[in-house]
Structures are given as structure tokens and as C-alpha cells.
Amino acid sequence: MSESLRCTPPPPPLVHNQFEAVRELFDRYVVPSYGRFELALARGAGSYVWDVAGRRYLDLGSGIAVCALGHAHPEVSRALVEQAERLVHVSNLYYHEPQGRLAEKVVQHLRGGKVFCANSGAEANEGLFKLARKFGHEEGRFEILTAHNSFHGRTLAGIAATGQEKIKKGFAPMVAGFRHVPFNDLAAMRAALSPATVAVLIEGIQGEGGIAPATPEYLLGLRALCDERRLLLLMDGVQCGHFRTGRFQSFQRLLEGVTGGDGFLPDGVSMAKSLGGGFPIGAFWVRAPYADLLGPGTHATTFGGTPLGCAVALKVFEVIERERLADRARAVGEFLKTELTRLSGQYPGVVRAVRGVGLMLGFELAADLPGWASDPKPPSLQLVQRLHAAGVLTVPSGTHVVRLLPALNLTREQAAEGIEIIAGVIRSLA
């Protein structure tokens, strides 16, 4: 070792077993844009994570529907290391196999079309916005209609597209060209169309909006309306996609067994979250007639579809398909929903409703419980905190809904373990 290196002071030791020390780093150095829970996590394995003090939690949130195969999946870790040793990044100036293979995989699940690789959900949606504007440009059409209570990301166009006032507050002026209409209301959508409208964007199941699935009639009605008025039908599959509902995309599940549902396809679908199983990658798919609208020079992103990100996403696809995890999501999701519904029946004063499909579930809490009065935080946050104390991680959605978005390989036993803990906390509030 050279003399100068030897004289460099060693870095401070990693902090173990000290939540306060970790929080202190955040308080000093991290932009405080998140309301964080009092929990510092250190490692994970499958559907369990451990905090810095070594306490174990059953993870029913999987990083907000991201860790599709749980934490530290050995095959995903190996794919990551092997690709990292071969080629991490080359830029989109060149071709490489993993991006082509990942696009092929997505296209196989959506019957034709093409894929653009991005880095996040918001960025995938931005691509769809640009696609829509390009589509309508010659006719002067640019407006995109989205739903109340939707969520489409935190970029400037993302918050303009999002149908929630709290997310826009303080960031005026909004990017022009977005308007919001009530969700699952076809007549409202039709009435809102203007000569400038070029596209409609909805989530198959609203995630941040409290777990609200689109009805089959709404999906089919929007398809017919968009065909009639030459609009693009865009779907945000960032949270509800990637096999979470038991099918690749939520609309495929929501339209199962519905007359006319088989032939349904939107014109664009955004993806991210579970796509990389924890590795940051996003993408959007675009249906065949519009697949070449974004020609050379029209859209780009430096990190989009790196060999590393695509190799990991391909491995996630491979494991999900080989282990039939879509079927598992369906079965375990059904079990969880049945048990939550039973709890809601037992404690209707605490749990008002249970909603969702597959492993995208939410339960709505009563607003007027005496138990909430001791804390100014909304009921959803209070319940999530109580669940932390009991050893389970879940995700709040708005002020009154708690979400379960577990890994697709959650076992039935782990689901039962989670239900037992949730039941205990609900009981203590009744």
C-alpha cells in the first residue's frame, strides 16, 4: 500500500444496532421529503427483513410492490453479479442482447407491439405522455384525461397527471394538458372529452388511491370510446402489473371470463416497480400500430435498459414463470382476501371494507375509532405503526387504507402468519 493511502484515515465503522445513529445521518444529510417510519432496516431474505437491532419482520409490502421475489433472492443476486462481471452499461448508442430479450418477453405477454426501457414508473409514464403528444401533434391534440385519486409519479408531468390535489400543492404552475374525471365512470369520461383530447390514462387497480379496481365494463367501454374518438388508451401498470393480480397485467385478470375481454388491449402500458424485483428499471409497451411513433431522436434516457438492469429483469421473469408465481399470487391472494374479509365481518367497527385482486389488497379502516384519538396521525399510518410493533410491514394508502403488496412467492404459511398478527392488532383496537 502506498504511503499516502496508509495515511488516509479509515472510514468510520458501519453503524450496527443503532437506530438513532442512522436517523441522525438522515436528519443532517438527507432532504426530508419523506415521512419515514421509525425503522432502519439492515438486511432481508425472502419475505423477511431485519432491522438494525436484529429484529425480524414479515414483509407484506415488499418495498411498495417492488421486491417481486422477496429480498436477496439467490438466483437474482447471481444474475446481477454475473452480468455485472460481464457488462454493466454501454449506452443506447449500441445494441446488446439483454434489452432485446427483455422487450421480447414483455411483448410475448401483450401480443405484439414494442417496448422502451426507462428507469422508473414516473419516467415510463413520461414516455407514454410523449407518445400521446406525438400521436396528436399534427392535429393539435395534446390533452390526456386521467382519473380522480389516480397516481402517476412525482415528476412535473407525473403530478400534473395525478388526480390528487395534495401531490400538486406548492408546485404550480402544473404542466398543461391534463384533466381529471371520476374513476369507473364512463359517462363522465365521455362528457369530458374535448377536441384537444388525445389519450386516456388509468390504472387497472388504483394503488395510491386506496386499492380501487377498474370494472370490466369501464375497461371495455373505454376501449370502445377511444376507438370511436381515435384516442390512445394508456394504462399505468406500475403498481398493479407484473403478475401481482395473477396475470401479467391487471386488465388481463379483471377481464377474465368477461365477454369481449379476450380481445382487449390498451395502446400503451407503463411498468416499473416489480419489473426489476428491486433493481431500478421501468419500461413502457406500445401497441403495434403506434410502436414506431417515437422514431430515432424523439426520446432517450442514458440509463434506460442497461445490460445489468435487463439481465436482472429477465431473471425475475424467468423465476416467476418457472415457479408459476402468478398462480401462487392468485391463490395466496385469495386466501388473504378471504381472511381479511372474515376479520372485517368480525370487527366491522374497525375494518370497513376489503378490496383488491391477487396480491394487491387493501383494507379500509373506520374513521371514528376512539383508539385513533391519542395520535394526530391518520388511521392508516397509526395501524401500519402498530403492525410494525407486532412484526409486520404493510403500506398505507391515503388516510384510511392499509395495503398488502407482498412478494409473489409469499407462502401460504407466511400469509397465515401475517393474518394472525394483523388480526391481533385489529382485535386490540375493537
Ligand X SMILES: *Cc1c(COP(=O)(O)O)cnc(C)c1O
Give me the least distance between CB of 271 and ligand X, in Å please. Answer: 10
CA 420 – CA 425 distance, rounded (Å): 9
The answer to the question of residue 122 lying near ligand X (CB under 6 A) is yes
The answer to the question of residue 61 lying near ligand X (CB under 6 A) is no
Peptide bond into 376 cis (omega under 30): no
The answer to the question of residue 203 lying near ligand X (CB under 6 A) is yes
CA dihedral sign, ordered 245, 246, 252, 256? negative
Pick between residue 105 and residue 242 the one whose CB is nearest to ligand X: 242
For residue 239, the number of C-alpha atoms closer than 13 Å in the C-beta half-sphere is: 30
Pick between residue 49 and residue 66 the one whose CB is nearest to ligand X: 66
Pick between residue 182 and residue 424 the one whose CB is nearest to ligand X: 182
Interface mask toward ligand X for 205-224; x: CB under 6 A: --x-----------------
Q: Which of 236, 267, 339, 364 binds ligand X (CB under 6 A)?
A: 236
The answer to the question of residue 116 lying near ligand X (CB under 6 A) is no
Pick between residue 52 and residue 234 the one whose CB is nearest to ligand X: 234
The answer to the question of residue 284 lying near ligand X (CB under 6 A) is no
Select the residue whose beta carbon is closest to ligand X and give its number: 121
| Beta carbons of 204 and 239 less than 8 angstroms apart | no
| 325-346 helix and 412-429 helix, angle to the nearest 10 degrees | 20
Give me the least distance between CB of 154 and ligand X, in Å please. Answer: 6
**Strands 395-397 and 178-181, sheet pairing:** unpaired
Give me the least distance between CB of 149 and ligand X, in Å please. Answer: 11
| Beta carbons of 123 and 179 less than 8 angstroms apart | no
Give me the least distance between CB of 22 and ligand X, in Å please. Answer: 23
DSSP output for 152-214? --SSHHHHHHSB-HHHHTT-PSPPSSEEEE-TT-HHHHHHH--TTEEEEEEESEETTTTSEEP
Q: Which of 151, 178, 243, 251 binds ligand X (CB under 6 A)?
A: 151
DSSP output for 254-284? HTTT-TT-TT---SEEEE-GGGGBTB--EEE
The answer to the question of residue 120 lying near ligand X (CB under 6 A) is yes
Q: Which residues of 368-403 are buried (b: 16+ CB within 10 A; e: fewer)?
A: eeeebeeeeebbbbbbbbbbbeeebbbbbbbebbbb
The answer to the question of residue 272 lying near ligand X (CB under 6 A) is yes
Q: Which of 46, 113, 127, 153 binds ligand X (CB under 6 A)?
A: 153
Mapped onto helix, strand or coil, the DSSP state of residue 148 is: strand
* Residue 57 DSSP class: E
Q: Which of 121, 163, 304, 358 binds ligand X (CB under 6 A)?
A: 121
Residue matched to cell numbers 416497480: 273
**Among 274, 326, 337, residue whose Cα is nearest residue 64:** 274
Give me the least distance between CB of 54 and ligand X, in Å please. Answer: 30
The answer to the question of residue 250 lying near ligand X (CB under 6 A) is no
Interface mask toward ligand X for 157-186; x: CB under 6 A: ------------------------------
The answer to the question of residue 245 lying near ligand X (CB under 6 A) is no
Contacts with ligand X by CB under 6 A: the residue count is: 14
Pick between residue 31 and residue 93 the one whose CB is nearest to ligand X: 31
Give me the least distance between CB of 256 and ligand X, in Å please. Answer: 21
Q: Which of 105, 152, 223, 247 binds ligand X (CB under 6 A)?
A: 152
Residue matched to cell numbers 434506460: 304
Interface residue list for ligand X (CB under 6 A): 120-122, 125, 151-153, 203, 207, 236, 238-239, 272-273
